[in-house]
Structure 1
Amino acid sequence: MLKLIGVLLDYPRDELWQHGEELLAAADDPALSRGRRRQVVAFVEALLAADPLDAQDRWLSTFDRGRAMSLLVFEHIHGESRDRGQAMVDLIDAYRKNGFELDAKELPDYLPLLLEYLSHRPQEEAKEWLHHIGHIAGMLAARAAERELPHAALFEILVEAGEGKVNLEILRQRASEEIRDDTVDAMDRLWEEEAVRFGTDAPSQECDPPHRSPARALNREVQP
């Protein structure tokens, strides 16, 4: 289930449409409730029915514009503080300790990547991780619902899997009161702020969200 949600939250590369039957089969997961299963199947069917270019453009508009819907987990916890860098180093160490190697441009706190890793870990460990990030998943679910995005159900499933005390109603109310950060005006303000950063402080291209193959995500195995 976690691997599938990671694939569905990841950037929809062209290869995804070549694995439609696999995605639909994975969506019919008995671990999910009947209602959640219907939502995931509907999400997959809608995605496969979409034009790849349109789906990719929607993904970029959703997750790569502004920070509120960022899939970089530690950005929601640490922002741009130094603590985020140390947290990522610690997470990379945890990955390597368990035989999970990253590609050069993959950021360890990218949610689809974390979910792929957790799909190979013991159930209790995965639940503990999801419990730890439950508030983040809940806030993403609330913001997705506020924006009428089908991804809301995927984030809600992560909240439920973590069995945390996350009050989605309160988070939805908070999301309804937030000022959107993905509008043209908001993006202009962000670019103005970033313009003062230069030299060694300039953002690197390595900070782009990793766009991985869904086929690889579905079949990748952690080496013992």
Structure 2
Amino acid sequence: MLTLKVLSLLLSYPEAEMLEALDEMASVVEQENLLQENHKKSVLALIDSYRGVDLLNIQEQYVALFDRGRFLSLHIFEHVHGESRDRGQAMVNLLQMYEAHGFEMSTHELPDYIPLFLEFLSQQEQAEAVQLLHDAMPVLSLLGARLTERGSDFHVVFDALAGFAGEPEAFNEIRQQASTEGEDETLVNMDEIWEEEAVSFMGAGDACKSQSDAVSPITITPRDEYLKAQNRSF
């Protein structure tokens, strides 16, 4: 499922190698035909939007969008657990799943980084990839809705993922939240955040504790708890 690899690249920090591979990326999306037709056209349009751009300019735009606050963080568990120990254990479980499938991380990113997660899914059987992706859709749909509210073309990637794996049960509530929430005040409150959440991934609980085979390593908290957590002020 190389289309998921293409979507991973589109959500990653832009590099010259990606700009050189635009034709190949478009060809994969066209020929593999994994996405719904309307989503496929939108993703192809996003790929085309990179043609002829200035690399430094789009890198600056990417950082301004994804790296200067929490609302659009591309780390799945940050939207569920913040920097708590629960997030650390969740990432340990996710890393164990990667290792069990023979997937080696060749990046410094944490296991819950969405482009890395999509790269992993691109190497799995479609049924398993759909199930794991659907487990993460409450977070992915919220990100897509927030990007739509901000008028960012990146929302088409998350729309395509929802079309592929299915929308979460709480989709309408998630979309309502994105349309009514205030500004991301992460940077304003950064000192206070660091004081309250001085917990690192490596310090998370019992790193040797394994997940149950019956529990998905990316299971999101129940809907009511999830929405309550997302509405808290950081």
- Output the TM-score relative to the length of structure 2: 0.77
Distance 1:104 1:133 in 2: 21
Distance 2:176 2:170 in 1: 10
Residue of structure 2 equivalent to 1:219: none
Aligned to 1:113, which of 92, 111, 116? 116
Aligned to 1:95, which of 93, 98, 101? 98
1:168-183 aligned within 5 A: 168-181=171-184
Structure 1 runs of 4+ aligned residues shifted over 6 Å read none
Residue of structure 1 equivalent to 2:56: 53
Deviation at 1:36, TM superposition (A): 1.4
Distance 1:143 1:128 in 2: 23
Matching of residue 193 in structure 1 with residue 192 in structure 2: yes
Cα distance change of structure 1 residues 73 and 195 upon mapping to structure 2, 3 Å threshold:
closer
Distance 1:187 1:133 in 2: 26
Aligned to 1:124, which of 110, 127, 143? 127
Please give the root-mean-square deviation of Cα atoms over the aligned residues, in Å.
Answer: 2.2
Residue of structure 2 equivalent to 1:150: 153
- SS at 1:31's partner residue? coil
* Count of aligned pairs: 198
Matching of residue 78 in structure 1 with residue 77 in structure 2: no
Preserved CA contact (<8 Å) 2:36 2:164 = no
Cα distance change of structure 1 residues 50 and 197 upon mapping to structure 2, 3 Å threshold:
same
Deviation at 1:19, TM superposition (A): 1.3
Instruction: Output the amino acid matched with 1:2.
Output: L
Aligned to 2:29, which of 9, 27, 30? 27
Quote the sequence identity (%): 36
Preserved CA contact (<8 Å) 2:26 2:47 = yes
Deviation at 1:187, TM superposition (A): 1.5
Preserved CA contact (<8 Å) 2:5 2:118 = yes
User: Which structure 1 segments of 5+ residues have no match?
Assistant: 205-224
> How far does the alpha carbon of each residue in 1:86-131 deviate from its partner, in whole angstroms, 9 at most, with x for none?
1111111111111111136221100000000011111111111111
Instruction: Output the amino acid matched with 2:104.
Output: E
Distance 1:94 1:196 in 2: 32
> How far does the alpha carbon of each residue in 1:33-85 deviate from its partner, in whole angstroms, 9 at most, with x for none?
32212111110010233211111111111110110111101111221221111
Instruction: Output the amino acid matched with 1:55.
Output: I
1:2-21 aligned within 5 A: 2-21=4-23
Distance 1:180 1:127 in 2: 32
Preserved CA contact (<8 Å) 1:140 1:155 = yes
Deviation at 1:203, TM superposition (A): 6.8
